[in-house]
Amino acid sequence: MSAGLMIYNVLCLAVPFSVALLLAALGENFNQRAGVFNLGCDGIMCMGAFLGFMVPFSLKATPWAAYGNLLGIGAALAVGAAMGVVFALVTVTFRASQGIAGIGLQMLGWGLAGTLFRHFVGGVTGVEGMAAIAIPGLSKVPFLGGVLFNHNALTYTALLLVPACWFLLYKTPWGLKVRAVGTHPRAADTMGIHVDLIRYQALMLGGAMAGLAGAYLSLCQAKMFSDDLVAGRGFIAVALVYFGRWSPLGILGGALLFSIAQSFQLSMQVWGIKFPYEFAVMLPYVLVIVVLALARKARQLGPTDLGKPYNREMRF
Amino acid sequence: MTALEPISELKLEGITKRFPGVLACDGISLQVRRGEVLALVGENGAGKTTLMNIIMGLYRPDSGTIHVNGEEVHFHSPGDAYARGIGMVHQHFMLVPNMTVAENLALGLKELHHFMNLDIKGAAKRIREVSERYELPVNPDAYIWQLSVGEQQRVELVKTLCLGARLLILDEPTSALTPQETDDLIVRLQRMASELAIIFISHKLNEVKALSDRVSILRHGAVVFNGQTANHEPSELAALMTGHDVVLPRNEGSSIQGEPLLSVQNLCVRGDRGNLVLDGLSLELRAGEVLGMAGVSGNGQREFADALAGLRPVESGQILFGGKDLANRTPREIIHAGMGYVPEDRQTEGIVPSFSVKDNLILKDFAEPRFSKMAFLRKKEIDSNAEALKERFDIRCPSTSTATGSLSGGNIQKVILAREISRGPKALVAVYPTRGIDMGAQEFIHEQLLARRREGIGILLISEELEEVMNLSDRIAVIYKGKILKVLPAVEATRERLGILMAGLADPDTPGDAQAEVPAGVAHE
């Protein structure tokens, strides 16, 4: 096999791998920009994956079957947003510690998805899932066509969301408020901005995107559901936000870097080269630590009030 | 923003606000009209800031009413206050550091918020208009973190005016400014006063004198005095503020000059950006003297104090203290050598804000046998130590179990001073010990420092307030660009002479001749 073909194979696999991470991390970025880190991202992804699978699965033999995938995605978005609101209620309104609340949400989502799955479905069952749509013309371009333009609709959506999130964050009034609320909530408050409301909105959006990321895993990647489908990707997504220094483009870079490492590791197994899987899993965390250790100057760019509940009448 | 008539009068009646354990405002009534500057003075913790936060809708009053142009209003957020033309510049700037000046303004200008589109150019245009009109130069595209404190202050003023405020509340606007920046601000405010109403909060009475038409004095949450500024002397206001006559103590200069205690030789230290901030600084401190270090801040004072406390590496040079070189030793070794330290930033370096007063009082000695036994803290000892120091240093706190960070600046400083002095140090380094502190606490701290001097402790007083340095010191060293420019006996020091030295100019032999050359803003605070 030529080196060019090897790179092509690795990249073709890496792009779909990156989608779930990208969607979840772009969503988590809104949470963190607003000053709340949601470790429950992983649990939301579990619930998103479950509903993304469950809805088309139960609509299989009904007249609604044609809309199964779409309704599944809708349900995943809705459950994600709802879990985001629950998390906001706990951390913003009741000012609970975000770390502990996040771990709780992760366990809730993971456990609930598994339990519901066993109750309603049981054994291993697949769904048809979403098919790839080759973009006419572009998919025929040598090399890039296969890498970028022969995927399902959610993959294109995720890639388009990168500039969309950037625009939302830096060019719209809402993005401005989100950034202010996560960096200096008291300043935002004195400018007449409802800090808690913005945090609720950001957590809702972030949750919906995590739900979508879960649906991608069950509908597009695995075309089935199991307890360990998400496999800690939610936590990797949280790490990618730090890695990407809270910028959508940086997050895309991180998601691709990690996915390339993962697909490289898989390809090596196909090629018969032994490579420890655990190493690839470890990689994003190592990268995050390296980036955080080296990038001290960039501190000014991040949400400096990350993790702190805001209390207007607090005196210090 | 609603098109209401511009604010011409604000009236408060019977405003009361309680915090747990504190009556912050006790039936306060005030009035201010357009074209008028009302100074609101009072000691730390007198309730000034709380009152202003009530006007801005950040806190809800427990009782009392607010009237704008004779109409009763209820503000639920600062947005409501701005809608009626009331804006506030907070003591701690309300600017998001990782956003530009224009973005900071756009946050509050709802008419620039369109669907999926933020009119940032419109914000920049507004800033340029206002900054030209009021002569407050500001670059709308600069990031806040790139600006100096003085520039940020200007941004705050421009921002508040852009938001449509015609009644400005300025909460201790000069507390973080250098003397030059302060002069500059006072001049600008004087110019702006004719078109606006201004409430000016301060406890620097010379500024109150220079700027305000009327003055109201708050004490323990209540108004104790209203009057025309012109009819009252600063000393009279100080007495009303503290409840007794304030005469800041002076060094009478009669003690024996002891032996050299601390000898700094050719000290070189790097700053945060890696440049050499102290460049061969040499200095000697004797037992039983107060050595004042005067200088415009940013000339190496912070780095010098850090190096003395062991908080910053020394590049080269020696810090000889009791026959030992303390350069590059750990803070613990330096503490045990008998060095006391009152840091510049009392909130973050001087105390642990969330710790109780009694715990902060033993931060340096918790491992001593007096306070711990077999790895357990001796609670009774710690309690009685705290009660004794609370009494002796007049620390005003609900109890010694209160979180130290919730106390006023003056009381936090007393906690720090109590801890440092009660340890019986040989030398004490005090950095800006009275910055942002009211007259009463200032008087107390000065008395304490002079009393330690009489006991034979050598005190290095680093300060920007010339008044303070001249009142307390035996000798005054002027620091400029990381070197000691000159050390002179306090009796020979005049404001003019120090001002010229602080500006880095050659020392004139006769202060009288030099007066003409004094650069604006340097000779006086």
A150: Cβ contacts below 8 Å, ≥ 6 apart = A132, A134, A135, A139
Q: In which band, very low, low, confident or very high, does the pLDDT at B256 lie, cut at 50, 70 and 90?
A: low
Residues 167-206 in B contacting A (C-alpha not used; CB under 8 Å): none
End-to-end CA distance of chain A: 64
Q: Which two tokens stand for residue A131?
A: 């098919």
Work out the pLDDT band at B434, boundaries 50, 70, 90.
confident
Q: What is the tally of helices (H) and strands (E) in chain A? A: 12, 2
Q: B454 vs chain A: nearest CA distance in angstroms?
A: 37
Helix (H, G, I), strand (E, B) or coil at B73: strand
Q: Which residues contact B462 (CB under 8 A, 6 or more apart)?
A: B293, B301, B304, B305, B344, B429, B430, B431, B432
- The residues in A 156-215 lying below 8 A from B, measured between CB atoms, are 167-168, 171-173, 175-177, 179-180, 183-184, 186-194
**Please, what is the average pLDDT of chain B?**
87
Whether residue B108 and residue A191 make contact (CB cut-off 8 A), yes or no, is yes
Nearest CB to B107: which of A168, A177, A186? A177
Q: Does A302 touch chain B (CB under 8 A)?
A: yes
From the list B465, B304, B426, the residue with the least C-alpha distance to B445 is: B465
How far is B457 from chain A, CA to nearest CA, in Å?
A: 34
Q: Which two tokens stand for residue A96?
A: 């609970």
Chain A closest-CA separation from residue B106 CA (Å): 8
pTM of the entire predicted model: 0.78
Q: Which residues of B touch A245 (CB under 8 A)?
A: none
What's the mean per-residue pLDDT of chain A?
A: 90
State what percent of residues in chain A have pLDDT above 70: 94
**Per-residue pLDDT for B522 more than 50?**
no
A173 to B113: CB separation less than 8 angstroms, yes or no = yes
pLDDT in tens, A210-245: 999 999 999 999 999 999 999 889 998 998 998 888
Name the nearest CA neighbour of B361 among B327, B323, B409, B395. Answer: B395
Cβ A313–B118 below 8 Å, yes or no? no
Please give the Cα distance from A261 to B348 (Å, whole number): 43
pLDDT tier at A268, thresholds 50, 70, 90: confident
A-facing residues of B in 51-80 (CB < 8 A) are 56, 58-59, 77-80
Q: What is the pLDDT of residue A140?
A: 87
Confidence of residue B510 (pLDDT cuts 50, 70, 90): very low
CB atoms B82 and A304 under 8 Å: no
DSSP SS3 for A26: helix
pLDDT of residue B99 exceeding 90, the answer is yes
Closest alpha carbon within chain A to B103 = A176
The tokens describing A308, both together, are 């702190």
The ipTM value here is: 0.88
In this model, does residue B102 exceed pLDDT 80? yes
Q: Check pLDDT > 70 for residue A182.
A: yes
In order of B13, B25, B58, B175, B258, the CA distances from B75 in angstroms are 15, 17, 8, 28, 61
Rounded CA gap, B172 and B90, in Å? 8
Name the 3-class secondary structure at B429.
strand
Q: Which residues of B touch A168 (CB under 8 A)?
A: 116
Min Cα–Cα distance to chain A from B377, Å: 27
DSSP strand pairing (B63-68 vs B71-73)? antiparallel
What is the Cβ-side half-sphere exposure of residue B186, based on CA atoms within 13 angstroms? 23
Is B108 in contact with A304 (Cβ distance < 8 A)? no
Note the pLDDT of residue B13: 94
Cα–Cα distance, A132 to A155 (Å, whole number): 9
Q: Where are the alpha helices (DSSP H) in B404-454?
A: 409-422, 439-454
Residues of A in contact with B108 (CB under 8 A): 191-193
Interval B370-375 mean pLDDT = 90
Average pLDDT, integer, range A104-129: 92
Confidence of residue A292 (pLDDT cuts 50, 70, 90): low
Can you tell me the distance from the alpha carbon of B309 to that of B307, in angstroms, rounded to the nearest whole number? 5
Question: What residues in A contact B143, CB-CB < 8 Å?
Answer: 300
The whole-angstrom separation of Cα B159 and Cα B240 is: 34
- What does the pLDDT average to over B389-404? 90
Task: Map residue B235 onto helix, strand or coil.
Answer: helix
Query: Distance between CA A31 and CA A269 in Å, rounded?
Result: 37
Q: Does residue B517 surpass a pLDDT of 80?
A: no
Chain B residue with Cα closest to A182: B96
